[in-house]
Structure 1
Amino acid sequence: MSLFQGLTFLTTVNDLKALPNEGIEVAFAGRSNAGKSSAINTLANHTRLAFVSKTPGRTQHINYFDFGQSRRLVDLPGYGYAAVPEAVRKHWQGLLGKYLETRPNLIGLVLIMDSRRPLTDLDRVMLDFFLPTGKPVHCVLTKSDKLNNQEKVQALRSVKDEFKGNPQITVQLFSSSKKQGVTEVEQVVGGWFEEIMQQLAASEPMDGE
C-alpha cells in the first residue's frame, strides 16, 4: 500500500499549545483555494478525508492525519483569503508562522500553489518563515490540467528558476482531477520520513549502553 493510502484522521487543534507532543510530521500549506484539500484527498485516494470547501478560507484549524509509525500529515489553514475578518486572518498568519518557525516535530513542508498563479506574496511570506529552519520544501503546483503543455513548462520553469541552486526546494506539477503527480509527492514525502527515521534509529542507544 502506498504511503498516503493508509492516511487516517487523528485530531484537530486551534492552538499551538494543543499540538501533539509525539511523532514526526510533514505539513501541507497553501493559499486559500490553491487546491490543498483536493491534493490531500487525491494522494490518499479518499474523496472526503480533507474537507474541500467551495468557500475559500473555511478551514481555520490545524488538522492532523496519521500515516502510522508515529508519522503525521499536518493540514494547515489556508491563508490569504480577504473575506475573513481581519482578526481571524491575523490569528491564522501568526499561528502558521510560529508553527513553521518553531515546531520541532516538523521535518518538511509541502507548499501547495495554483500552477496558474504560483509564488504569490503570501506564499513568499510562508517561505520566509520556514526556509531559515533549513528543512526541505516541496512545491506542488496544482490544477496543472488547466494549463496547456507550453504553460505547464513555463509554470514549472518559473518556480524552479526562482530557487535555482537551492537544494532545499524541489518543485513539481500536480493535478487532482487527472491524478497526475501522485507518485512524485509520495516519493518526496516518503523519502523525508525514511531519512529522519533512519537518523532516529541510529541515535538510539544500543541495549546495555
Structure 2
Amino acid sequence: MKGGLLEARDEAEREALVEQGRLLFCQPCEFFFAAQRLDQLPPAERPEVAFCGRSNVGKSSLINALTGHHGLARVSNTPGRTRQLNFFNLGNRLTLVDMPGYGYAQASKSVKEDWQGLMFNFLRGRPTLRRVILLLDARIETKESDRAAMKLLTEAAVTFQIVLTKADSPKPYWLRQRQEEAAALVKAHTPAHPLVITTSSEQGIGLPDLRAELTALAEPA
C-alpha cells in the first residue's frame, strides 16, 4: 500500500498507513553527514524529507519524538545555533534532513543571506528531495520570516507541508485559528501539500499521522 493519508479510501486503509509509519520509525535512525556548503553535500541516494522552521519552533524536538531517539537531533536553547544541514538515515529507506533555523533576531544580515542562498540552492537542486516539512509554532502568529520561507519554497518549486508544533500549549480557540490560518496559507501557495498536521512532541499529538505521511515518501520495505 502506497500513498499519503489523503489517498486513504477508508478507516482501515488509514490505519494501515499509520501502522506502516510506526514500523518505519521503529527502525534505527542515525546521523551520517553534515554540510555547510553545497559542495559538501552527501551523494543523493535514498528519498529525502527536509525539516524547516524558525529557530525555537521545536524542530529538533519533533525529529527526536518521531524517531524515538531523544538525543538524535540537538535541542539548543540558543536560537540560530545550528548553521548546517544535518542528514539522518532512517532504516536505509528515508533520509531526514534537519535544516538550519531561520528568523532569529540576533543573526547578522550576512548570516541570513547565507541561509537563503544555501537553502534555496539545496531545495531547487536536490533530485532526491521529496518534501519539505515547514514547521509553524501553534502558540504564535505566523511571522514574516515564515512567509518569506514559503515564498522561497514556492520559487524553488518544492512541495512543502505545513506542520503545526507545540499544539499542547495554546487554548483551543487559538489553536483553531492557527489551523484555519495554516489552511489559508496552503491555498495561497501552489506547491503546498493540502494536508496540515497538528503536532505536539511532548504529548505525541499528530505524530502517527506525520509518520504515515513520511513513510509514503520512503523507499518500499
TM-score computed with the length of structure 1 as normaliser: 0.85
Q: Gaps spanning 5+ residues in structure 1: where? A: 199-209
How many corresponding residue pairs? Answer: 196
Asked if the contact 1:136–1:168 (Cα under 8 Å) also holds between the matched residues in 2, the reply is: yes
Q: What is the CA deviation profile of residues 151-178 of structure 1, one whole-angstrom value per residue up to 9, with x for unaligned ones?
A: 2222111110232385842211111111
The alpha carbon displacement at 1:70 in A equals 4.9
Question: Which residue number corresponds to residue 175 of structure 1?
Answer: 200
Q: Does 1:63 align with 2:86?
A: yes
What is the CA distance between 1:132 and its match in structure 2?
4.5
Number of the residue aligned with 1:32: 55
Q: Following TM superposition, where does structure 1 have runs of at least 4 consecutive aligned residues deviating by more than 4 angstroms?
A: 132-135
Partner Cα separation in structure 2 for residue 130 and residue 167 of structure 1? 8
The worse-fitting range, judged by mean Cα deviation, of 85-94 and 162-171 is 162-171
Equivalent residues in 2 for 1:153-168, closer than 5 Å: 153-164=176-187, 168=192
Within 2, Cα distance between the matches of 1:118 and 1:75?
A: 23
Farther off after superposition, 23-32 or 163-172: 163-172
TM-score by length of 2: 0.80
2:9 is equivalent to residue 9 of structure 1: no
Is 2:79 the counterpart of 1:42? Answer: no
Q: Hey, what does 1:185 align to over in structure 2?
A: 210
Match for residue 112 of structure 1 among 114, 124, 135: 135
**110, 117, 121: which one aligns with 1:98:** 121
Unaligned ranges ≥5, structure 2: 1-21
What's 1:80 paired with?
103
CA RMSD in angstroms, aligned pairs only: 2.1
Q: Show the counterpart of 1:19.
A: 41
Find the counterpart in structure 2 of residue 89 from structure 1.
112
Q: Distance in 1 between the 2:160 and 2:26 partners?
A: 22
Deviations 1:46-105 (A, max 9, x none): 211000001111111110000133521110000111212332222122111221222222
Greater mean deviation of Cα atoms: 160-169 or 104-113: 160-169
Q: Which amino acid aligns with 1:108?
A: R
Amino acid at match of 1:154: Q
Residue in 1 aligned with 2:173?
150
Q: Percent identity?
A: 36
* Aligned-partner residue type, residue 102 of structure 2: Y
Worse overlay, 85-94 or 33-42: 85-94
